[in-house]
Amino acid sequence: MNDIIPIFSRRLLKVKANYLTKIDDVTTIRKYQAIRSYEAISAPRTIDQTQYDLYHLTMYARKLCRGRDQCSSDVVPVNMRVLGLLFFGLNVVLAAQPTCVLLNDGNKMPMLALGTGRGTAKETDTLDDVRNAVFWAIEAGYRHIDTAAVYGDEEQVGQGIADAIAKGIVTRDQLFITTKLWNDKHARDQVVPALKESLKRLGLEYVDLYLIHFPIATKEDGSPDNIDYLDTWKGMEEAKKLGLATSIGVSNFNIAQIDRLLANSNVPPAVNEFEVNPTLTQEPLVQHCMSHNIAVMAYSPFGFLVSRSRPDAPPPRYDDPTLGAIAAKYNKTPGQIVLRFAIERGLTPIPKSTNQKRIAENINIFDFELTADEIATIANFNKNVRVIEIDSWKDYPNYPF
């Protein structure tokens, strides 16, 4: 019995396993697995027999659900009375296709997304490559695509979506599309028009998730602006009310900014998207979001696994022997192990690729699970070092890092 749980959650798991299956089955089972994964990163404790039995219910859950449409399970409501408010309900079950998180507004978000920000790959990846990548991803089973106004490729993302729909691979309601509001459109009255422009480029009537890309406001020339993100959020709430976005959230918000937003909003953010990877595990921010029922999307999930710009960056790299040993055990690649690490923590990783083979490889992570010891081993790579650094913004109001 090597499975472990956090000290403060032990009392929450004293409910007998057979009772849990009656009141909350899959949801409660997976909440336990999220707790188990969290503990592998923090302070281990050996579980007792009741908790061990509950772990085996996780294995039983694998037989209950199979992949369909956006998600691999029939997502059931979160019963927060069972495990309290310490952990947000992760309604996910291991399967061969992406599972789903039930957001705090009742919508379901597939737990793996294709990233379309080209970043340092702009010189090699063309806009047509983005269109192809989106189509290949949907063809491979992805149902969640992540883009943003600032990426400059919303039109090509929309074309890839349209191609997949035209070929009968999916219908629009089987997809989950995320885009983001850029910093120079933070005035309340700019939010809805900015989203409408994104929708026009995407060729869609609505997005499933609209995020404030950064809490920082800038003018069109990139200089700092003094618009409060609380005002921006009011515009986001209006976009949701109009049906232009079914869910709304934030990106790159820190703990203090999340708390301030929660205290001053009518609609809480459903998601916070920020950088998470083995070199930057972000455990305090991850757990803070989850404790407030805010799902976490993880960009740059590979960290420095394959670094184009920082050859001196900290490990792990693709040839790391520790990752290699874990990968060999499951007949997976180091990249797949790193993505599974994010899934085990209850996160939605956003791997980027325009390579058809790698796109298919990145989604093939739902047919195995890491042990608690393996999760802890990967978490030990943490150095609190970011892949994405924006030094030019450090003196701007609301800089989050």
Q: Is 324 exposed, middle or buried (0-12, 13-18, 19+ CB in 10 A)?
A: middle
As a whole number of angstroms, the distance between CA 308 and CA 120 comes to: 8
As a whole number of angstroms, the distance between CA 84 and CA 381 comes to: 31
Q: Half-sphere exposure of residue 344, counting CA atoms within 13 Å on the CB side?
A: 28
As a whole number of angstroms, the distance between CA 107 and CA 172 comes to: 15
CB 41 within 8 A of CB 376: yes
Identify the three-state secondary structure at position 46: strand
Core vs surface per residue 254-288: b (16+ CB within 10 A) or e = beebbebbeeeeebbbbbbbbbbbbbbbbeebbbb
Report the sign of the C-alpha dihedral through residues 241, 296, 143, 130, in that order: positive
Q: Is 151 a catalytic residue?
A: yes
Distances (CA, A) of 343 to 52, 298, 350, 351, 398: 21, 10, 11, 12, 29
In the block, residue with structure tokens 């472990």: 4
Report the sign of the C-alpha dihedral through residues 21, 27, 32, 37, in that order: positive
Of 55, 151, 210, 299, the active-site residue reads 151
As a whole number of angstroms, the distance between CA 97 and CA 9 comes to: 30
Taking only Cα atoms into account, the Rg of the chain, rounded to an integer number of angstroms, comes to 20
As a whole number of angstroms, the distance between CA 22 and CA 26 comes to: 10
Q: Half-sphere exposure of residue 52, counting CA atoms within 13 Å on the CB side?
A: 7
CB 96 within 8 A of CB 62: no
Which residues 6+ apart lie within 8 Å of 237 measured at CB? 248, 265, 266, 267
Catalytic residue annotation:
151
